[in-house]
Structure 1
Amino acid sequence: MKPRLNKHSLAALTLAIASLNAQAELRTETVEYTLDGQVFSGYLAWDDEAEGKRPGILLVHEWWGHNDFVREQAEQLAAAGYTAFALDMYGEGKLAEHPDTAQEFMKQATRDMEQVKARFIKAKELLQNHESVDADKIAAQGYCFGGAVVLNMARMGVDLDGVVSYHGALASPLQAEAGKVTARVQVYTGGADPMVPSEQVAGLVQEMQDAEVDLTLVSFPGVKHSFTNPGADAFAEKFGMPVGYDEDAARRSWDGTLLFYQELFGS
């Protein structure tokens, strides 16, 4: 007697098959590139079965460095129909395991904003030159340190359609200027994040309003820093850091980001 599938097991089987198909179509590639004599290692993800060129999304990692979390985010964007490139802002395989080391790596990378811009532009050009990418449709998103980076790239007038900052620092020595910022800006921040206090939030709103920038800002009440990263709770426990993963805020910010890209690119 053959086993019969009920509607629940059939649905589960259908989802499993869809998942396998999605994995079969997803392509990933580690890309090594050189700038000013230093080697960087990025991560490219795209759907090889999709037809035609599509928008490209740059991702900038947290202060820990280019790790598995940012690569997973790139894969999720690829599954959503974009070509994603998780760039490396530190270079030479630098990956911190302690906050003090992360702080030092971040200071080295940001000691010169022109250096930050050069590293960002190099990764942007690599993404634009990929065969699957529409070079005229590029956005960027960043997490923590990376959130501050993408906001500063917008402030510096880098040609981007949009930028998204997740729990990134909002204050900056740079100031947005009317007519210079071409990107639309979306910011997600935690209302209980001591690293991004309300003064920073208010300051960004004033800055972007004065510069006539298209800004959307969402603050999640009671949510801490690093709310998108499932590993944040472990960091909090190990190092006593005021960070924490929040599933609802992570989901809502991701859904909002995808809607933002749909509005930007019409896809």
Structure 2
Amino acid sequence: MIRSILLTAVFMTSATLFSQKLKTVSYQDGTQKLNGLVTSNAGKKLPGVLILPAWKGIDDEAKAAAAALEKQGYIAFIADIYGEGNIPADNTAAAKTAGYYKQNYEAYQRRISSALEQLKKNGAVSDKIAVIGYCFGGTGALESARGSLPVAGVVSIHGSLAKDQTRKSGTLTAKILVENPADDQSVTKEDYDNLIKEMNTGNADWQIITYAHSKHTFTDPKSPDYNEIMAKRAWNHTLMFLKEILK
């Protein structure tokens, strides 16, 4: 318990320091103002990683990931999916808002596409871009592949794997890594099996890694689900995947 509290305190302090180095980038989707964050190496010609945050919007885990990716030589951009004035105040609001974008997947793909454009405007090499996402953002990572957005690969980190089965499955050109916690009660066996079927139908280059003794938000030090060992492994798997497809 003490170790967990200390880890959370260190993470929160680090995330605050990281956020001080991130620059706010305002952009538009139609009339909606969006406020993303980009790493301090913006403007250089480097591979880029778009980060899709969890269901409450831009959070400390996304900021910490951005800072860590910058150290690895990537320009990282954290997308604002909901937009100014629409950030959920609590879990109930987050579930409703995230649910809207899951159902209206084309709107979600459009917001992701807008963020990708900002990542490129901030220096990312256009043919060396990947998307990673946490939870709701993990769903968005998969939607990036489903929508044939111009990315080399996607990483879904404890994201929802479900897709409306009335949707047609097309070719999936982006390489796909799914980091799936073994004890995630929000993912059913049917969801899991349908995703594999979808990826095979789309002739995708895919991989699923399942992390033992891990619940839904196992990578977030602020969550009671946090599994330090598995979170470190997942991050190393993410870095290995990004290095393969972007460098």
| TM exceeding 0.5 | yes
Offset at residue 175 of structure 1 (A)? 4.8
The corresponding residue for 2:51 is: 59
The corresponding residue for 2:9 is: none
Q: What are the ranges of 5 or more consecutive residues in structure 1 without an aligned counterpart?
A: 1-22, 234-243
Which runs of structure 1 show a deviation greater than 4 angstroms over 4 or more consecutive aligned residues?
none
Q: C-alpha separation between the residues in 1 aligned to 2:155 and 2:227?
A: 18
CA offsets per residue over residues 29-53 of structure 1, 9 Å max, x none? Answer: 11111211111110101447xx962
CA offsets per residue over residues 73-132 of structure 1, 9 Å max, x none? Answer: 11111111100000011111433342211112213334422211211111101111113x
Provide the alpha-carbon RMSD of the alignment.
Answer: 2.1
> Is the contact between residue 162 and residue 195 of structure 2 (CA under 8 Å) also seen in structure 1?
yes
- The answer to which structure, 1 or 2, has the higher relative contact order (CA under 8 A, 6+ apart) is 2
Offset at residue 227 of structure 1 (A)? 0.8
Letter of the 1:31 partner, please give it.
Answer: V
- Residue identity (%): 32
> Is the contact between residue 152 and residue 172 of structure 1 (CA under 8 Å) also seen in structure 2?
no
Q: Establish whether residue 229 from structure 1 lines up as the match of residue 220 from structure 2.
A: yes
Going from structure 1 to structure 2, the CA distance change for 1:208 and 1:116 (only over 3 Å counts) comes to same
> Is the contact between residue 56 and residue 139 of structure 1 (CA under 8 Å) also seen in structure 2?
yes
Q: Establish whether residue 250 from structure 1 lines up as the match of residue 241 from structure 2.
A: no
The corresponding residue for 2:181 is: 190
> Is the contact between residue 172 and residue 199 of structure 2 (CA under 8 Å) also seen in structure 1?
no
Q: C-alpha separation between the residues in 1 aligned to 2:127 and 2:202?
A: 24
The corresponding residue for 2:162 is: 171
Q: Establish whether residue 28 from structure 1 lines up as the match of residue 22 from structure 2.
A: yes
Q: C-alpha separation between the residues in 2 aligned to 1:94 and 1:248?
A: 35
* Greater Cα radius of gyration, structure 1 or 2: 1
The corresponding residue for 2:144 is: 153
Q: C-alpha separation between the residues in 1 aligned to 2:131 and 2:40?
A: 15
Q: What are the ranges of 5 or more consecutive residues in structure 2 without an aligned counterpart?
A: 1-16
| Partner SS for 2:39 | strand
The corresponding residue for 1:41 is: 35
> Is the contact between residue 46 and residue 79 of structure 1 (CA under 8 Å) also seen in structure 2?
no
TM-score w.r.t. structure 1 length?
Answer: 0.79
CA offsets per residue over residues 157-193 of structure 1, 9 Å max, x none? Answer: 111100000000111124532xx32100000011111
The corresponding residue for 2:91 is: 99
Letter of the 1:35 partner, please give it.
Answer: D
Q: C-alpha separation between the residues in 2 aligned to 1:108 and 1:265?
A: 32
Alignment of 1:83-98 (within 5 A): 83-98=75-90
> Is the contact between residue 41 and residue 93 of structure 1 (CA under 8 Å) also seen in structure 2?
no
Letter of the 2:47 partner, please give it.
Answer: P
Q: C-alpha separation between the residues in 2 aligned to 1:175 and 1:220?
A: 30
How many matched pairs?
228
TM-score w.r.t. structure 2 length?
Answer: 0.86
